[in-house]
């Protein structure tokens, strides 16, 4: 199916922009959280609100596509910040080099998502909304995103995470404005459980952090392990901010597992020594990590060699993308979610061009459309050429296939299977792809 040409969309966008009234957003004193605040939110015109008159009219923007990066600079997931920011930075650079969006360079504003302890994300979102962000890329942690999703989407702004994997987002009422380029944990849990069973384990313990991310993924692993006929020897959820995990580790050890799935973040550095002390450390039984704790532990004294883990990502990392993203700021020690951040930014820009508007609501209405069922393209510039010709596009980026469901989640996903070597760094030993189970 042919789309309206870009020239027609540009004319519509310019006409709409001419009608937009300028408005200034002041400081807000509303506490961080997920409540919507008038002072922190863009005006109706800026956020794609009331278009006035024809209900089929394209929601109006302010003429400049602005990305807000809500990514971790502090907290347990700070190690994911550099690659995620670099992915957004590279995308913005390449978008502007190719002519920008709707005739203007796109803008970028950075903010710190933290990790929820303490909760700084709400105030940081206010900063991005006051800067007229149309699309907010982030957060990394599902548990952080769930605290700000109402504030972001309620303001008519696209909430696009490169790293949220919690299954609960698929059924969340998000005004059609939440999207992600990381596959749901419904698939990660299945792949991880299958990996443990295929490795020959049939008495598997699960220990996970008690939050939106940890509970859902841990429960999915349990579900698949039991479906496959293996035993969950112990299922333990712990408070992420606990001073120690002695009781939980003792509970797991008492179940005498032959493998342990550890769904954790940075607290992994505290849990591993306690596992070792109880005789169920990495050199005693097989341990599996997830995307939340698959990190570089080279400065730690314990030995993780043999530990395996799963993380979303392309089956074969794109060396050209890695080269480009390493040139944005400085060479990266970690590449996790760099490609997903890049793709989230590119997809949003293409959706804005397709919609002929930089408003969040207009962009949100086209995001799914530019990821499937069209002519395949792999760069922003090439995709724009197709849009100029009135073609439907199917963007495929360095993170892999980005086809989305109507809920804004990926239809399928690929996970790299990583294994720790001597020195506590890991390398990819395999990859597994699958369709995200529905329902």
| Structure tokens, 156 | 């008519």
Model pLDDT, residue 37: 36
Cβ contacts of 430 within 8 Å, gap of 6 or more = 416, 417
Cβ contacts of 328 within 8 Å, gap of 6 or more = 86, 89, 90, 93
Helix (DSSP H) and strand (DSSP E) numbers for the chain: 13, 15
Backbone angles phi, psi at 369, to 5 degrees: -65, -35
Among 147, 146, 85, CA closest to 112: 85
Mean per-residue pLDDT, 90-108:
98
Q: Evaluate whether 6-182+333-405 and 185-290+297-315+414-435 have a shared fold.
A: yes
pLDDT digits (tens, 9 = 90+) for 358-389: 999 999 999 999 999 999 999 999 999 999 99
Q: Where do the domains of the chain lie?
A: 6-182+333-405, 185-290+297-315+414-435
Mean per-residue pLDDT, 409-423:
96
pLDDT digits (tens, 9 = 90+) for 296-347: 999 999 999 999 999 998 777 789 999 999 999 888 988 999 999 999 999 9
pLDDT digits (tens, 9 = 90+) for 232-243: 999 999 998 899
Query: What is the rounded end-to-end Cα distance, in angstroms, of the chain?
Result: 30
Model pLDDT, residue 26: 31
Model pLDDT, residue 57: 64
pLDDT reading at 351 higher than 80: yes
Architecture of domain 6-182+333-405: 3-Layer(aba) Sandwich (3.40)
- Which superfamily does 185-290+297-315+414-435 belong to? Response regulator (3.40.50.2300)
pLDDT digits (tens, 9 = 90+) for 390-399: 999 999 999 9
If you count them, how many residues does the chain have?
439
Mean per-residue pLDDT, 407-422:
96
Model pLDDT, residue 323: 95
pLDDT digits (tens, 9 = 90+) for 22-63: 233 333 333 334 443 333 444 444 443 433 334 456 677 899
What is the spatial distance between Cα 185 and Cα 191, in angstroms, rounded to a whole number?
Answer: 9
Which pTM does this prediction carry? Answer: 0.83
CB 129 within 8 A of CB 41: yes
pLDDT reading at 285 higher than 80: yes
Model pLDDT, residue 439: 60
Query: Per mean pLDDT, which range of 214-223, 224-233, 430-439 is the poorest?
Result: 430-439
Sign of the Cα pseudo-torsion (116, 266, 408, 436, in order): negative
- Give the pLDDT band of residue 155 (cuts 50, 70, 90): very high
Model pLDDT, residue 118: 78
Model pLDDT, residue 324: 96
Model pLDDT, residue 59: 72
Averaged confidence pLDDT in the chain: 88
Q: How far is CA 357 from CA 1, 104, 106, in A?
A: 21, 12, 12
Backbone angles phi, psi at 154, to 5 degrees: -65, -20
Q: What element of type H or E holds 90?
A: helix 81-97
pLDDT reading at 185 higher than 90: yes
Among 145, 137, 142, CA closest to 121: 145
Among 364, 261, 383, CA closest to 310: 261
pLDDT digits (tens, 9 = 90+) for 186-217: 999 999 999 999 999 999 999 999 999 999 99
428, β-bridge pairs:
418
pLDDT reading at 8 higher than 60: no
- Give the pLDDT band of residue 84 (cuts 50, 70, 90): very high
Sheet strand arrangement including 203-209: 231-238, 203-209, 259-263, 286-289, 308-312, 412-420, 426-435
């Amino acid at each position: 199916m042919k789309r309206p040409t870009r020239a027609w969309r540009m004319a519509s966008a310019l006409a709409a922009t001419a009608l937009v009234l300028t408005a200034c957003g002041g400081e807000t004193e509303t506490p961080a959280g997920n409540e919507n605040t008038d002072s922190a939110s863009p005006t109706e015109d800026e956020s794609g609100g009331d278009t006035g008159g024809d209900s089929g009219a394209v929601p109006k923007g302010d003429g400049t596509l602005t990305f807000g990066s809500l990514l971790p600079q502090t907290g347990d997931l700070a190690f994911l910040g550099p690659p995620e920011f670099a992915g957004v930075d590279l995308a913005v650079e390449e978008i502007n080099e190719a002519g920008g969006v709707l005739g203007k360079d796109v803008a970028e504003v950075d903010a710190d998502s933290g990790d929820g302890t303490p909760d700084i994300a709400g105030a940081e979102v206010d900063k991005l909304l006051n800067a007229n962000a149309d699309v907010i890329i982030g957060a990394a942690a599902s548990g952080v995103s769930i605290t700000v999703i109402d504030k972001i989407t309620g303001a008519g702004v696209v909430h696009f995470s490169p790293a949220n994997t919690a299954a609960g987002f698929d059924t969340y009422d998000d005004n059609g404005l939440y999207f992600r380029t990381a596959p749901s944990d419904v698939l990660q849990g299945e792949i991880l459980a299958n990996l443990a069973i295929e490795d020959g384990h049939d008495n598997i313990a699960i220990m996970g952090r008690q939050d939106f991310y940890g509970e859902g993924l841990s429960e999915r692993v349990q579900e698949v392990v039991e479906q496959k006929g293996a035993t969950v020897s112990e299922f333990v959820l712990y408070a992420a901010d606990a001073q120690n995990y002695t009781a939980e580790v003792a509970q797991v050890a008492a179940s005498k597992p032959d493998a342990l799935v550890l769904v954790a973040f940075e607290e992994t550095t505290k849990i591993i020594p306690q596992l070792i002390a109880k005789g169920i450390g990495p050199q005693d039984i097989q341990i599996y990590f997830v995307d939340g704790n698959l990190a570089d532990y080279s400065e730690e004294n314990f030995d993780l060699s043999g530990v395996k883990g799963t993380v979303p990502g392309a089956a074969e990392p794109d060396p050209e993308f890695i080269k480009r993203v390493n040139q944005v700021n400085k060479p990266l020690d970690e590449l996790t979610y760099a490609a997903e951040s890049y793709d989230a930014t590119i997809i949003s820009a293409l959706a804005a061009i397709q919609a002929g508007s930089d408003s969040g609501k207009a962009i949100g209405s086209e995001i799914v459309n530019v990821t499937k069922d069209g002519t395949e393209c792999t760069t922003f510039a090439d995709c724009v050429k197709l849009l100029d010709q009135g073609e439907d596009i199917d963007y495929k980026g360095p993170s892999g296939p980005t086809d989305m469901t109507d809920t804004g989640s990926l239809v399928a996903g690929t996970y790299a299977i990583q294994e720790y070597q001597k020195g506590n760094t890991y390398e990819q030993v395999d990859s597994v792809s699958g369709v995200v189970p529905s329902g």
